[in-house]
Amino acid sequence: MLNMVIPMALALVTAAVTMSFWRLLKGPSVPDRILALDTLYVNTIALLVLLGIHLASALFFEAALLIALMGFIGTVALCKYLLRGDIIE
Amino acid sequence: MLDYLLSFLILTGAIFTFVGSLGLVRLKDFYTRLHGPTKATTLGVGCLLIASAIYFSNREAGMSLHEVLITLFLFITAPVSAHMLAKAGLHLGLPSLAKTPEEKIPEKDNETTKTLTDKKTAVDQ
Amino acid sequence: MRRLLPHPLLTPILAGIWLLLSNSVNPGQIVLGLLLGWAIPLLSIHFWPDKVYIYKPLTLLRYMGVLLIDMVLANFTVARLILGNPGRLKPAFIVLPLTLTSDLAISILAISITLTPGTVSAQLSPDRKHLLIHALNETDADALIVTIKRRYEIPLKEVFEKC
């Protein structure tokens, strides 16, 4: 059962990554691209967790945690740049 | 039994992640696009992480709860990034399907700053 | 006591996070977690100017339960709206007048608003009296404001502010 479900889930999440990437390329505005990047982080976390279950390895957890942390900081820094034209005040 | 629960969680998670990104493609303006990733994906990834926690707790001796950490972290940070993005969008004056609230908030701010300055001048006098 | 433990609530939270991160409950890890939970608030004392008190812990627990249920419902609502006809959506900006005053309570309210059906908190007015909300599909703004006030704001006020 699990062996059948995981490839399906991987396909769905990969499609999600593709759609986020399309929005990242298309824009049309800068916040749209940042939003697409943010979604891409979340999709990547989902992909890593799925791969972790698929390969039965707990090693992917740290990578997922780091992407969550860095993705959040990246999004906030980019928004801050748009709002103030400066990141560190 | 556990197999079915895990499969259900994984599929639900993957479907919600997919729908969240679909919103990014289908919806028409920036502010409505914000809704998809912040909501649909948080529950999607939450389901996947819970599935992972159950899987590894069952597989190895002892509990494996550190996935909960990412879930909690995402639940706290996703709204914050959405808020920042909405703020940036409003700041840049992005086109919106809804009436943009240019007049709504600043007016009230002007009023309060006015009353504040009134008070200040009263104090000065 | 006050100088040694500036934020009594932060210590168990940080210790809990440490235990989750190390993924074990060895006595050694517990001691290390408590040590970190004691040292980090002490070192970062300037970043936490306000004292946090929880007046009604039970209300806070119930609030978290309500939030969790609403979050799951919100996901289904948003998924339905995305899969439906996007052309028929009626997005709207709504101004929510705030009665909360503490920073933490306002942040938690904004997070709750974003996580619950069809709404994203967009902007806080500089005087902290109004919160701008973007609703994905809303026709009755007043009803939404009443719901948010009853469901989230009043419990938060009870928990974090002395009445």
Question: What pLDDT is stored for residue C115 in this prediction?
Answer: 81
Tokens, residue B64: 């494996």
Q: How far apart are CA A66 and CA A74, in angstroms?
A: 12
Assign a CATH topology to domain B2-98: Helix Hairpins (1.10.287)
Kindly tell me if the per-residue pLDDT of B15 is higher than 70.
yes
Question: Regarding beta strands C92-97 and C130-135, do their DSSP bridges make them parallel or antiparallel, or are they unpaired?
Answer: antiparallel
Question: What pLDDT is stored for residue A14 in this prediction?
Answer: 93
CB-based burial, B81-112: b 16+ in 10 Å, e otherwise: bbbbbbbbbbeeebebbbeebeeebeebeeee
Contact criterion met (CB below 8 Å) for C79 and B38: no
Contact criterion met (CB below 8 Å) for C115 and C67: yes
| Nearest-by-CA chain B residue for C76 | B40
Binding-face residues of B in 63-122 toward C, CB within 8 A: 64-66, 68-69, 75-76, 78-80, 82-83, 86-87, 90, 96-101, 104-105, 108-109, 112
Binding-face residues of A in 12-71 toward B, CB within 8 A: 12-13, 15-17, 19-20, 22-23, 29-32, 34-36, 38-39, 42-43, 45-46, 49-50, 52-53, 56, 58, 61, 64-65, 68-69
Give the percent of chain A with pLDDT over 70.
96
Tokens, residue B48: 């996947």
Confidence of residue B87 (pLDDT cuts 50, 70, 90): confident
Q: Name the β-bridge partners of C120.
A: C134
* pLDDT tens digit sequence for C87-108: 777 777 888 888 877 778 888 8
* Contact call for B109 and C115, based on CB within 8 A: no
Tokens, residue B33: 């696009």
Q: How far apart are CA B33 and CA B88, in angstroms?
A: 14
- The structural domains of chain A, with segments of one domain joined by +, span 2-84
* Overall average pLDDT of the B92-102 stretch: 69
Half-sphere exposure of B64 (CA within 13 A, CB side): 19
Q: Name the β-bridge partners of C94.
A: C133
Tokens, residue C41: 């608030």
* Contact call for B37 and A49, based on CB within 8 A: no
pLDDT < 70 positions in chain C? 1-6, 49-50, 162-163
* Contact call for A39 and B37, based on CB within 8 A: yes
Coil/strand/helix, residue A10: helix
